[in-house]
Amino acid sequence: MAGKLASLAMAGLLAGTAAVAHAGQNAPVLTSENTRATAHDITLWPEARSPSAITDTATENRISAILAAMTLKQKIGQLIQADISTITPDDLAQYPVGSLLAGGNSGPYGDERANASEWDRMIREFRAASTAPRAQGVAVPIIFGIDAVHGHNNVPGATIFPHNVGLGAAHDPDLIRRIGEITADEIAGSGIEWTFAPTLAVPQDLRWGRAYEGYSSDPAIVASYSKAMVLGLQGPLKSGVEIDATHVAATAKHFLADGGTEGGKDQGDAKIGEDELVRVHNAGYPGAIDAGALTVMASFSSWNGAKNHANPYLLSDVLKGRMGFGGFVVGDWNGHGQVPGCTVTDCVPALMAGLDMFMAPDSWKGLFDNMYSHARAGDIPQARINDAVRRILRVKAKLGLLDDPIPARRDYAAIGAPEHLAVAREAVAKSLVLLKNSGSVLPIKPGAKVLVAGEGANSFAMQSGGWTISWQGTDVTREDFPNGQTIWDGIDAAVTEAGGSATLSEDGSFAEKPDVAIVVFGEKPYAEFQGDVPTLAYQPSGASDLALLKKLKSEGVKVVSVFLSGRPMFMSREINASDAFVAAWLPGSQGAGVADVLVAGADGKPVRDFTGALSFPWPRDAVSPIADPLFDLGYGLSYTKPGTVPKLAEGFGLDIAQALNVEDFFVAGRAQAPWEMSLTDAGGKRSVGPAPSSSAGGAIVARSVDYAAQEDAKSIVFTGPGTVSIDGPAADLSRQLNNAFALRLDWRIDARGDAPVSLGMGNNMVSLDDWLDGAPIGEATTLRIPLRCFADLGADFAQVGNALRIDAGVGFAATLIGANVEAVGENYDCPPAAPVAPAQ
């Protein structure tokens, strides 16, 4: 058969009039013949069932007709999802992929800040290309997915809700359902029909950088939310009725135990028994499946060494079999490439295990070619291909994507609608948890003189966290939130309305002594592995925020701390230095919700009382997992239920220096605690974070780039003389010096330039000019220099405060991939010494 999808529709095939036998939901699940090596007990798992509305007879007959008409190449295409940054509409003629996504740093036409109409226009262009007439087979429309994990967080002006860590503290499933409805309305309003949410992780180790994506460490809370969010996003499913234009397909993720990895390592290994896997980490999935979740995303992580992307027991026996999931399983970002024996462009085992759609953002073309070759050679059973395609077509049918015309999803006015913003503000207020309120310093009294301090007070980036406009969320500005308020905005308005006055001073300085200071501080934005930490210590070195609290207390000012974070952390020092302490999590765009609870009106009463309660235990020390909490699950004070917090012990509970692993200076695109990266030129010194940075005088520009994963390296470009350094508190590396260790630098030289280049530890520099003359340009390479080379120049390895220093000038550019010290033996020579540039 030939022609576009509309041709089949007119022929009656897509309308369900062809009576073709089909494999229904209860058909046997096809997997690899490589049987499960480990003994399992399937009876431990709860039984669930996708609604029959997904697999009704008319829909299955309709899909069978499409399958019968599709070419093998078109079927393989349905199994592959590409990122919009690596594909064009014209590519779909040769590579008819079934799905597209916009990753965390992708936007329409290369614009991360595109508005809803631009998103819609781009999707319609791709969809038109996907349904263009074909010489053979059937042209099936793409399905478009996006990470909308706390509102439609990819579009400026959209409603940004608190991250899940805060919503868990609200203990309000109805609020979760309403948030799902609003998020779906705004996603659909920009022409998109699929979100990669909700996250049903049950984080057990708060060192995990994705802990804030989980609602709770308590499986009961996650279970109570999963069904509510799916129903909010999709609406109740009905047989023969498509999801309406204000709802979207949901994704239950990440299957399974992404929140149970050893050490809280992102994409790590959950070394746990099957009973714990079921009881804790599967808690949210039965409710999501029963509610009709149309897709499930496989986890990057492993279970007892077996990668979940290719685990037939979990994906096929459990998910599709025991739990009756009738939709399709999508992979995570090139996650199939982590399967032993696979690459990002070739992975039959994942498909055979039960993965239905590969997320192959930049590897789609090679993956398409290889999977097509395997299919033609008979390496993949046609029945497995047809089963995967059938599942994908079920979801497309439910979304109306198989209709002609395809229902429009483009209500641009839904983006940031006032009624949506009101619910976000409500969610902020309900998520706040009051940990301490000595002397009833809260609520702020009418007529008070209020000082608002701290780096987070007027920062949309810090209050919104990762997955906001961009993947890491570090580069957002006020212009991205035209209908939002920072926490300062909300406090200023509320205090003024109550007859008082508010002053913003980030460093806490003041001309007139205030009645009370509200200090807003916390974690900088991060996403995924960028947020992995070695301990739960907050600012283990430096402690600048603690110093600010103590300064204000020493000046006789009452202090209210508002802590912004993606997880509970060891904060006993800061709690002791505060009269009141509020866990505000990552509240999103409606910062005024904080003032609704903290500030009393003219009548002496706040708009809302505290109702939030911890959905994670609060740590007594910096050790994780938390064995003995300071504050248990469910803890939370209020104005009507006050409590007393005694002076807390301030010990970390571990050797911080040892826990921080001072041998690793730079890993996965960032300096590792306690180390920090800085840029220095004649204009001064500036620190470097995930966001694009420049030195004070503009001689150096640093930005995060992709090397082996998203933003896992740092590009450094010199337009003038300057220094890139990694510094920290004095660390003792004398043991490493005595055991023949070397400074190892993994990097890529992008441009040599003519200026001298030197490398050192502290002011003890060696010249790299001879080495660079033979180094490849544009290829990753490793440089090792024995520590003794720097010791011979005078470096004191008992007190290393500068772990790495690169001096360069105009024209030099490099991409820093990793830096650490490692054992190498004695067979490395020392480069010649180099002078230290006085301007740096």
- Cβ burial 219-243 (10 Å sphere, 16+ → b, else e): bebbbbbbbbbbbbbbbebeeeebb
Secondary structure element (H or E) that encloses residue 375, with its range: helix 364-377
What are the two backbone dihedrals, phi and then psi, of residue 64, each rounded to the nearest 5 degrees? -60, -35
Pairing of strands 780-786, 741-751: antiparallel
| Beta-bridge partner residues of 684 | 681
CA dist., res. 207 & res. 532, Å (int): 6
Q: 228 and 197 in contact (C-beta within 8 Å)? A: no
Specify whether 754 is catalytic: no
The three-state secondary structure class of 337 is helix
C-alpha angle 572/573/577, rounded to 5°? 110
Closest CA to 143 of 416, 470, 409, 411: 409
Residue 794: Cβ-neighbour burial (10 angstroms; 0-12, 13-18, 19+)? exposed
The residue from 290, 332, 411, 455 that is catalytic is: 332
**Cis geometry, peptide bond prior to residue 254 (ω within 30 degrees of 0):** yes
CA dist., res. 814 & res. 211, Å (int): 33
Q: What amino acid is encoded at 41 in this protein?
A: D
What are the two backbone dihedrals, phi and then psi, of residue 330, each rounded to the nearest 5 degrees? -105, 145
Q: 325 and 50 in contact (C-beta within 8 Å)? A: yes
C-alpha angle 280/281/283, rounded to 5°? 75
Would you state the structure tokens that stand for residue 833, as one six-digit string? Answer: 């010494």
User: What's the DSSP call for residue 497?
Assistant: H
CA dist., res. 481 & res. 493, Å (int): 17
Query: Which residues of 258-305 form beta strands (DSSP E)?
Result: 269-270, 295-298, 302-303
**C-alpha gyration radius of the chain:** 28
Specify whether 528 is catalytic: yes
Q: In sequence order, what DSSP letters do the residues of 43-61 get, joined into one string?
A: GGSPP----GGGS-HHHHH
Q: What amino acid is encoded at 201 in this protein?
A: A
Pairing of strands 80-83, 99-102: parallel
Q: How many CA atoms lie within 13 Å of 594's alpha carbon, on the beta-carbon side? A: 37
The residue from 274, 455, 528, 545 that is catalytic is: 528
Strand order in the sheet with 764-767: 684-688, 676-681, 722-731, 800-808, 758-761, 764-767, 833-834
User: What sections of 70-112 are H helices per DSSP?
Assistant: 72-78
Q: What amino acid is encoded at 486 in this protein?
A: T
Q: 732 and 741 in contact (C-beta within 8 Å)? A: no
Strand order in the sheet with 433-437: 433-437, 580-585, 558-564, 516-522, 449-453, 501-504
The three-state secondary structure class of 768 is coil
CB atoms < 10 A from the CB of 415, how many? 23
Q: In sequence order, what DSSP letters do the residues of 219-267 get, joined into one string?
A: HHHHHHHHHHHHHHHH---BTTB---TT--B-EEEEETTGGG-GGG-TT
- Cβ burial 695-726 (10 Å sphere, 16+ → b, else e): bebebbbbbbbebeebbbbbbbbbbbbbbbbb
Q: Which residues are catalytic?
A: 332, 528
